[in-house]
Amino acid sequence: MTQTVGELRTAVSGAVLAPEDDGYDAARRLWNAEHVREPAVIAQVHSAEDVQAAVRYAVAEGLEIAVRGGGHSIAGMSSVDGGLMIDLSRLNRVTVDPETRRARVGGGALLRDLDGAAQEHGLAVPAGLIGHTGVGGLTLGGGMGWLTRMHGLSIDNLESVQLVTADGSILRAAEDENADLFWAVRGGGGNFGVVTEFEFRLHPVGPIVNFALAFWGQDQGGELLRAALEVIPELPREVNVVIAALNAPPAPFVPAEHHFKPGFALVVVGFGSPEQHADALERLRGTLPPLFEVVTPMPYTAVQGLLDEANAAGTYHYEKGAYLETLSDGAIDVITTQVAQKTSPMSVTMIYRLDQGYVETADEATAFGGQRIPQYSMFIIGTAPVLEALEPERAWVRTFWDAIQPHAVNIGSYVNGMVEADEARLRAAYGDKYERLVEIKRKYDPDNVFHRNQNIKP
């Protein structure tokens, strides 16, 4: 293969890096520091044609392919030992048409690239909560965040994609062209090709939104969750709440006596009037005053970047998730018991409310692995500063996940939160859609060229 890397360098306009080249070590580094991969070659592509050349090269050489967007795959799927990493990070251009409210987004763009470009025109698309996440990986699995109650998932706002398939074809997929492929990429992950461009519908948002974070002690968790269960589903769609079990940050707005204290937070973001946001916060507080809170108007881009520093590259992560139809007494007992068992103050549990805009897309309209019913999506994320501290957190996440299963919706979990995505779990997540996904996989990738993902085998 060493002799043929020159052929790839000739075919690709971007840099092609082998292990002995300057820049190789930086290029192969992933967000989750647990995974240290050594690809045989890295292609830093600049166009769909570069991706086409890289895919054809890898197939001809028999090289395993990994696709790196933001590099946020907790399972380390963004790179590969001894194969070809297609690094999309240079393919990150975002162009916004404010008249048609459309954005064209390169396959290697980060959420902050998309948010920043769209917010120049007071527009946004539903996306995740961490700005250095890749648009591609997030979107292909679904994509949920602050705007999901208003406008659904990222995939619900997708107009078209351009992608390179396993045979090296460059295709457009939309409702009016390769519609089967368009259905599959909206939730089916990276199984069907390398997406080089997304076209999104945008919505008026901000640029200033209403933000609040209120924090309660760990011993108040049960009472808080039961109160939140009553209020959150009744809130207007312009208000979204994320429930988080975490340690209070050592931030300026946190009183010193509460720094690093374990507890529960409600993060409340309002896209309507300040009065509407204040009313929602008052209802959420109820008769349970928080230990501290911060309430302030904030740029939407700042809200989208709030978790960036706490989730910087170089730490160690493990994750599992579940859907909960409701926060039953049994589920609340599990949550309040288990969150106290973690050993790393960096580990968190987050619970999103999925309703309103989320349920307005028909379940069968996309390949998304989650029923379109009002429910909660729960993420149990173990994070540690050093590798030695990850094992206790991994054990904690697994124990917590096992304990919550009797209270979970029996359809697996959100595929973007799957680290060990075996076939049984994927079948559970996709349900009746799984066989259709297999047929589409067989059509576009019969040899399973793209398998470093939550893999649907042809």
Percent of the chain with pLDDT over 70: 99
3-state secondary structure of 296: strand
Architecture of domain 94-205+434-444: 2-Layer Sandwich (3.30)
**What's the pLDDT band for 422 if we cut at 50, 70, 90?**
confident
What are the pLDDT digits (tens) for 49-81? 999 999 999 999 999 999 999 999 999 999 999
| Matching residue, tokens 């948002």 | 205
Residue 218 DSSP code? G
- pLDDT the model gives residue 2: 56
**What's the pLDDT band for 417 if we cut at 50, 70, 90?**
confident
Mean pLDDT, residues 326-335 taken together: 96
- Which residue intervals of the chain bear CATH 3.40.462.20? 208-417
**What's the pLDDT band for 268 if we cut at 50, 70, 90?**
very high
Mean pLDDT (the chain) is 95
- pLDDT the model gives residue 366: 98
Say if residue 230's pLDDT is above 80. Answer: yes
- pLDDT the model gives residue 4: 80
**What's the pLDDT band for 134 if we cut at 50, 70, 90?**
very high
Do residues 191 and 455 touch, judged by C-beta distance below 8 A? yes
**What's the pLDDT band for 3 if we cut at 50, 70, 90?**
low
- Which residue intervals of the chain bear CATH 3.30.43.10? 2-87
Sequence-ordered list of residues with C-beta below 8 angstroms from that of 38, at least 6 positions apart, any chain: 19, 28, 81, 82
- pLDDT the model gives residue 1: 59
Do residues 40 and 83 touch, judged by C-beta distance below 8 A? yes
Sequence-ordered list of residues with C-beta below 8 angstroms from that of 185, at least 6 positions apart, any chain: 140, 161, 163, 173, 192, 193, 195, 367
CA gap 126, 360 in Å, rounded? 14
Do residues 44 and 107 touch, judged by C-beta distance below 8 A? no
Q: Which CATH number fits domain 2-87: 3.50.30.30, 3.30.43.10, 3.40.120.10, 3.40.50.960?
A: 3.30.43.10
Say if residue 98's pLDDT is above 90. Answer: yes
Percent of the chain with pLDDT over 90: 91
User: Which CATH class for the 208-417 domain?
Assistant: alpha beta
Say if residue 299's pLDDT is above 80. Answer: yes
Say if residue 255's pLDDT is above 70. Answer: yes
- Which residue intervals of the chain bear CATH 3.30.465.10? 94-205+434-444
Q: What is the pTM for the complete model shown? A: 0.95
